[in-house]
């Protein structure tokens, strides 16, 4: 008998009808002869409402993290019990389990805890008694019994962790999109659904904005080699399989392209070019909890270095405060730019195909998009460009690698999108 | 150092401001040098909203009880975490604990579980570290880790159970009324707040409608001799102390009078008067989960018996179905009346004072209220009367035992009430 672990996100369990629809899917799957575990998120806007209550009580001050976790974990607990009710109402046998009840033990890092172990036996026991097991996503429990939460994308981490612990045959992430697309269909209407993609490609695409599965979940899936099926809760179509890399994947140079619409850049110039300087700069930045993206260091003709990096525009003012101080200490110049976007092409095929970079740059040139910076990884090429040209650049690169659906449809769609 | 356990009900924690007000009270109490434990209910209408969700999911069918408990227990969990936040915001050190976290172990009777044990050490540990401990009322956990709830009045049971387990010096029930009154002040405006009352009197009054503390909680308090202070969360006035009986209480014959405004009566007549008949009748009724109140059996001149009992009018149609069957089987007559009310006088002093019944009957006669039935316990006299005369009867008995506030005020109030 095979084990299927399925997860439904907040929008897929937002009301009683949606909960019943999700329940029906699980019951159907069980009737086909599978053992079924379901992971669920909090209903729709529940978490927001709880956060709002906490803010009222705290008068805007940050809430103590342990209590925040104790509070937020109730959201998923509501969903699991309602889901179990719905299944029982349909004649199935079901049981809801909180993180504490399945022994999902994490470290003590409240609001962003890491899973340490899962007492998979408790889930198996229930499955073997013929029950559908419904597990609260996003939450864990410390060895001492305090409730923790797993941070952003936490429910997906729960999904993959449970699938790994049970050695599940199938791990399905039901969401409000059909799967992973070659790029954002809202910007490029002829974007095509990808049927199969590697963990590494998914990691590069996810960090660039294709957020159907949070990076922590993908990393977890990669680590334990859990194939994840990302699919829509609204229909029965196949979605995207996220799996370990296969040789056949290398036939395609670029699997997807992504646009990060808002990027800010910090450039330190006339930096003394001696060992330890970069370490000092990024240590200082890290201690201020600023998340740094692409880093570039080049040496000028005068022997000094230029160190530049990108940050989220929302963190730019914080970055300014830190870097002004750094520039003064290092006696170097600093410049801030908040007019950039980043377009990226991703594909494991880049490792074997040549000319991928050239083709991307040519496509941007033809579209009259100026490239301000280039960074690459083994399976990704990213270009910083002017923010106003972001969508145009994305379409150009997507077309250049022929990622779209049928050409005829593509032209019409492109016209429509330009209007 | 003394331990104070205080409880705030749903209306006293209905929003962020009320939660902060309750938190302030606990913080103030701690600053006076006490160790403080707070028990809280779910915020305002939270439980109703959760029940409503369950009904939607279940399409009106009854929900599985285990899942109902898993669902409803989130209400209190929300309150405890918000309460801990509020206290932390005020500079105090606080920790919220669910029933699972304090080891409040119950039996497996979901939706009406009974407490078996409390790991009081876990609460003491936190108190000894200087924290205010906030405990989720109404909920428990089975030895196997399933969440249970304690049924109606459950938060008060939690309050008393924790006070007993900690051997607390003071147990305070903060509610939206000032305390226990000699009778319902909405009907008798000169009703007086009782400053001290015995557990037994409270039990008789509570079952008659003075519902500031549910009977199960009072029974628990009596069993473990926990004095409970019922008081208002809106002011600092003394409320009512509910304590073990003292000799001085016997000086007053009647402590309070109560009115049950709607009572229905079932009378079986021409019942064969032989051993086992009453047992058979009430066994049949009990198996249909009908709650029976006062039972009277008398023997007629023809040797047959009349067995009558009262039920809640809401259960009368259920009772009819059962008793029609019984009457047919026993070949006796049956009659149903739904026009009654019950007025009762309660006081431990009845045990030593004579003439209490006489005074009550005289007061009713003077008010031209006909008595349809009389039942008594050691500390209570109850009369069934016509429903339309209920309030008048209550005022008459309250006056007869001189329970009201000052006479002058009383007359004015009585006039006002009569209008």
Q: Summarize the confidence of residues A143-160 as an average pLDDT.
A: 94
The Cα A362–Cα A345 span in angstroms is: 13
What pLDDT shows up at residue A231?
93
What pLDDT shows up at residue B38?
98
User: Is the Cα dihedral B195, B201, B206, B208 positive or negative?
Assistant: negative
Tokens encoding A260: 């990060």
Look at residue A12 and tell me if it is in a domain: yes
Q: Give yes or no for residue A371 having a pLDDT over 70.
A: yes
Which residues touch A274 (CB under 8 Å, ≥6 apart)?
A: none
Q: What is the dihedral of CA B117, B122, B124, B128, to 10 degrees?
A: 180
Q: Summarize the confidence of residues A405-415 as an average pLDDT.
A: 52
- Residue B212 phi, psi dihedral angles, 5° rounding: -80, -25
Q: Are residues B164 and B267 in the same domain?
A: no
Q: Summarize the confidence of residues A92-100 as an average pLDDT.
A: 97
The Cα B45–Cα B101 span in angstroms is: 25
Look at residue A94 and tell me if it is in a domain: yes
What pLDDT shows up at residue A410?
44
Look at residue B355 and tell me if it is in a domain: yes
Half-sphere exposure of B311 (CA within 13 A, CB side): 23
Q: Which residue of B has its CA nearest to A83?
A: B57
Residue A54 contacts B, CB cutoff 8 Å: yes
Residue in A15, A70, A77 closest to B81 by CB: A70
What pLDDT shows up at residue A408?
47
Q: Are residues A261 and A395 in the same domain?
A: yes
Is pTM, for the whole model, over 0.80? yes
Q: Are residues B27 and B149 in the same domain?
A: yes
Q: What is the pLDDT of residues B116-126, one digit of tens each?
A: 999 999 999 99
Which is nearest to A393 in space by CA: A260, A300, A287?
A260
Instruction: Indicate yes or no: CB of B78 within 8 angstroms of CB of A53.
Output: yes
- Residue A225 phi, psi dihedral angles, 5° rounding: 50, 55
The Cα A307–Cα A305 span in angstroms is: 6
Considering only CB atoms, which chain A residues are within 8 Å of B95?
66
The Cα A159–Cα A325 span in angstroms is: 44
Half-sphere exposure of B76 (CA within 13 A, CB side): 31
% chain B with pLDDT above 70: 95
Task: Identify the residue among B23, B49, B67 best suited for mutation to test binding to A, counting A beta carbons within 10 A and taking the highest.
Answer: B67
Q: Summarize the confidence of residues A157-184 as an average pLDDT.
A: 92
Q: Order of strands across the sheet with B228-232?
A: B94-97, B132-136, B35-40, B3-8, B170-175, B228-232, B240-243, B196-198
The Cα A373–Cα A340 span in angstroms is: 10
What pLDDT shows up at residue A207?
62
* A237 CB-contact burial (10 Å; exposed 0-12 / middle 13-18 / buried 19+): exposed
Task: Identify the residue among A50, A71, A87, A132 best suited for mutation to test binding to B, counting B beta carbons within 10 A and taking the highest.
Answer: A71
Q: Point out the least confidently predicted range of A176-180, A306-310, A343-347.
A: A176-180
Considering only CB atoms, which chain B residues are within 8 Å of A84?
64, 67, 70
Instruction: Indicate yes or no: CB of A85 within 8 angstroms of CB of B101.
Output: no
Q: Are residues B263 and B165 in the same domain?
A: no
CA distance B317 to chain A (A): 28
Q: Are residues B170 and B261 in the same domain?
A: no
Q: Summarize the confidence of residues B221-228 as an average pLDDT.
A: 93
Look at residue A221 and tell me if it is in a domain: no
Q: Summarize the confidence of residues B363-391 as an average pLDDT.
A: 94
What pLDDT shows up at residue B405?
80
Look at residue A299 and tell me if it is in a domain: yes
Q: Give yes or no for residue A416 having a pLDDT over 80.
A: no
Look at residue B263 and tell me if it is in a domain: yes
Instruction: Indicate yes or no: CB of A145 within 8 angstroms of CB of B61.
Output: no
Which is nearest to B236 in space by CA: B10, B21, B395?
B21
Q: Give yes or no for residue B338 having a pLDDT over 90.
A: yes
What pLDDT shows up at residue B301?
84
Q: Give yes or no for residue B407 having a pLDDT over 80.
A: no
What pLDDT shows up at residue B406?
65
Q: What is the pLDDT of residues B8-26, one digit of tens each?
A: 999 999 999 999 999 999 9
Task: Identify the residue among B69, B85, B108 best suited for mutation to test binding to A, counting A beta carbons within 10 A and taking the highest.
Answer: B85
Q: Summarize the confidence of residues A81-101 as an average pLDDT.
A: 97
Decide if B349 contacts B254 (C-beta within 8 A). Answer: yes
Q: b or e along A53-69 (b: 16 or more beta carbons within 10 Å of the residue's beta carbon)?
A: bbebbbeeeebbbbbbb
Q: Are residues A411 and A277 in the same domain?
A: yes
Instruction: Specify which residues A385 forms β-bridges with.
Output: A341
What pLDDT shows up at residue A115?
94
Q: Give yes or no for residue B410 having a pLDDT over 70.
A: no
Which three-class secondary structure string do you get for A118-155?
Answer: ECHHHHHHHHHCCCEEEEECCEEECCCCCEEECCCCHH
CA distance A24 to chain B (A): 12
Find residues 57-86 of chain A whose CB sits inside 8 Å of chain B: 57-59, 61, 63-64, 66-68, 70-71, 73-74, 77-78, 80-82, 84-86
State the helix-helix crossing angle for A154-165 and A120-128, rounded to 10 degrees. Answer: 70
Q: Are residues B137 and B267 in the same domain?
A: no
Q: Are residues A7 and A129 in the same domain?
A: yes
Report the number of distinct structural domains present in chain A: 2
Q: Where a domain ends, among A150, A176, A202?
A: A176
Q: What is the pLDDT of residues A196-226, one digit of tens each?
A: 999 999 988 876 555 678 888 999 999 999 9
Give B206's pLDDT tier (boundaries 50, 70, 90).
Answer: confident
Look at residue B236 and tell me if it is in a domain: no
Residue A121 contacts B, CB cutoff 8 Å: no
Which is nearest to B78 in space by CA: A184, A72, A66?
A72
Residue A320: count of CB within 10 angstroms of its CB: 15
Predicted complex ipTM: 0.82
Which is nearest to B394 in space by CA: B346, B350, B348, B349?
B346
Q: Point out the least confidently predicted range of A213-217, B203-207, B272-276.
A: B203-207
Instruction: Indicate yes or no: CB of B16 within 8 angstroms of CB of A57.
Output: yes
Considering only CB atoms, which chain B residues are within 8 Å of A53?
16, 78, 82
In this structure, the strands spanning B371-377 and B380-386 are antiparallel
Q: Which of helix, strand or coil describes residue B118? A: strand
Residue in B56, B70, B89 closest to A58 by CB: B89
Q: Where are the beta strands (DSSP E) in B125-238?
A: 132-136, 139-141, 147-149, 170-175, 196-198, 228-232
CA distance B20 to chain A (A): 7
Residue in A67, A73, A98 closest to B85 by CB: A67
Instruction: Indicate yes or no: CB of B57 within 8 angstroms of CB of A19.
Output: yes
Give B412's pLDDT tier (boundaries 50, 70, 90).
Answer: very low
The Cα B227–Cα B230 span in angstroms is: 10
Instruction: Indicate yes or no: CB of B81 within 8 angstroms of CB of A68.
Output: yes
Q: Are residues B34 and B169 in the same domain?
A: yes
Instruction: Indicate yes or no: CB of B145 within 8 angstroms of CB of A85.
Output: no
> Residue B41 maps to which CATH number?
3.40.1160.10
Considering only CB atoms, which chain A residues are within 8 Å of B110?
none
The Cα B327–Cα B62 span in angstroms is: 31
Residue B302: count of CB within 10 angstroms of its CB: 7
The Cα B126–Cα B37 span in angstroms is: 10
Residue A223: count of CB within 10 angstroms of its CB: 11
What pLDDT shows up at residue A406?
64
Q: Which of helix, strand or coil describes residue B108? A: coil
What pLDDT shows up at residue B213?
82
Q: Are residues B62 and B161 in the same domain?
A: yes
Q: Where a domain ends, among B176, B194, B215?
A: B176
Instruction: Indicate yes or no: CB of B71 within 8 angstroms of CB of A89.
Output: no
Q: Summarize the confidence of residues B273-285 as an average pLDDT.
A: 87
Which is nearest to A86 in space by CA: B71, B146, B109?
B71
Long-range contacts of A402-409 (CB under 8 A, 24+ apart): A403/A182, A403/A183, A403/A191, A403/A192, A403/A254, A403/A256, A403/A257, A404/A182, A404/A188, A404/A190, A404/A191, A404/A192, A405/A190, A405/A191, A405/A192, A406/A190, A409/A190
Q: Where a domain ends, among B121, B156, B176?
A: B176
Ranked by mean pLDDT, the top range of A280-294, B207-221, B331-345 is B331-345
% chain A with pLDDT above 90: 75
Instruction: Indicate yes or no: CB of B86 within 8 angstroms of CB of A54.
Output: no
> Residue B316 maps to which CATH number?
3.30.2130.10
Instruction: Between B411 and B160, name the one with better pLDDT.
Output: B160
Considering only CB atoms, which chain A residues are within 8 Å of B19?
57
The gap between the terminal CA atoms of chain B, to the nearest Å, is: 53
Q: Where are the beta strands (DSSP E) in B41-169?
A: 94-97, 104-106, 115-118, 132-136, 139-141, 147-149
What integer best gives the mean pLDDT of chain B? 91
| DSSP class of A64 | P
Cα three-residue angle B188-B251-B247, rounded to 5 degrees: 125
% chain A with pLDDT above 70: 95
- A314: domain range? 257-418
Q: What is the pLDDT of residues A227-269, one digit of tens each?
A: 999 999 989 999 999 999 988 888 888 999 999 999 999 999 9
Task: Identify the residue among A15, A81, A88, A139 best suited for mutation to test binding to B, counting B beta carbons within 10 A and taking the highest.
Answer: A81
Considering only CB atoms, which chain A residues are within 8 Å of B88?
63-64, 67
Q: Are residues A163 and A303 in the same domain?
A: no
Tokens encoding A342: 């980043």
Look at residue A229 and tell me if it is in a domain: no
Considering only CB atoms, which chain B residues are within 8 Å of A99?
none
Q: Are residues B160 and B13 in the same domain?
A: yes
């Amino acid at each position: 008998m095979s084990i299927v672990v399925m997860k439904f996100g907040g929008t897929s369990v937002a009301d009683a009808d949606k909960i019943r629809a999700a329940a029906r899917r699980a019951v159907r799957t069980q009737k086909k002869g599978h053992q079924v575990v379901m992971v669920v998120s909090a209903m729709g806007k529940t978490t927001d409402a709880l956060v709002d209550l906490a803010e009222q009580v705290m008068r805007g001050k940050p809430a103590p993290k342990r209590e925040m976790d104790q509070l937020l974990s109730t959201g998923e607990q509501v969903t699991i019990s309602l889901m179990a009710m719905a299944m029982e109402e349909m004649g199935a046998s079901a049981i809801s389990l909180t993180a504490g009840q399945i022994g999902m033990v994490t470290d003590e890092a409240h609001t962003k805890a890491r899973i340490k172990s899962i007492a998979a036996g408790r889930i198996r026991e229930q499955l073997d008694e013929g029950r559908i097991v419904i597990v609260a996503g996003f939450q864990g429990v410390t060895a001492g019994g305090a409730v923790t939460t797993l941070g952003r994308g936490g429910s997906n981490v729960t999904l993959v962790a449970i699938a790994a612990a049970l050695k599940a045959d199938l791990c399905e992430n039901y969401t409000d999109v059909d799967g992973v697309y070659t790029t954002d269909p809202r910007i490029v209407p002829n974007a095509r659904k990808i049927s199969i993609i590697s963990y590494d490609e998914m990691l590069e695409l996810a960090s660039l904005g294709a957020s159907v599965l949070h990076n922590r979940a993908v990393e977890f899936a990669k680590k334990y080699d859990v194939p994840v099926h990302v699919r829509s809760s609204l229909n029965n179509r196949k979605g995207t399989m996220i799996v370990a890399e296969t040789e056949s994947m290398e036939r395609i140079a670029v699997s997807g392209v992504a646009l990060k619409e808002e990027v800010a850049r910090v450039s330190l110039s006339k930096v003394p070019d001696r060992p330890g300087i970069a370490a000092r700069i990024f240590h200082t930045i890290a201690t201020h909890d600023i998340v740094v993206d692409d880093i570039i260091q080049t040496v000028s003709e005068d022997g000094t270095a230029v160190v530049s990096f990108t940050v989220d525009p929302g963190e730019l003012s914080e970055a300014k405060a830190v870097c002004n101080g750094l520039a003064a200490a290092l006696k170097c110049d600093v410049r801030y730019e908040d007019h950039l976007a980043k377009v990226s092409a991703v594909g494991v095929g880049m490792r074997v195909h040549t000319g991928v970079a050239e083709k991307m740059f040519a496509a941007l040139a033809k579209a009259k998009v100026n490239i301000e910076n280039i960074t690459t990884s083994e399976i990704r090429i990213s270009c910083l460009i002017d923010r106003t040209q972001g969508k145009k650049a994305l379409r150009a690169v997507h077309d250049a690698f022929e990622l779209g659906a049928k050409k005829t449809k593509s032209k019409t769609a492109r016209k429509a999108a330009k209007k």
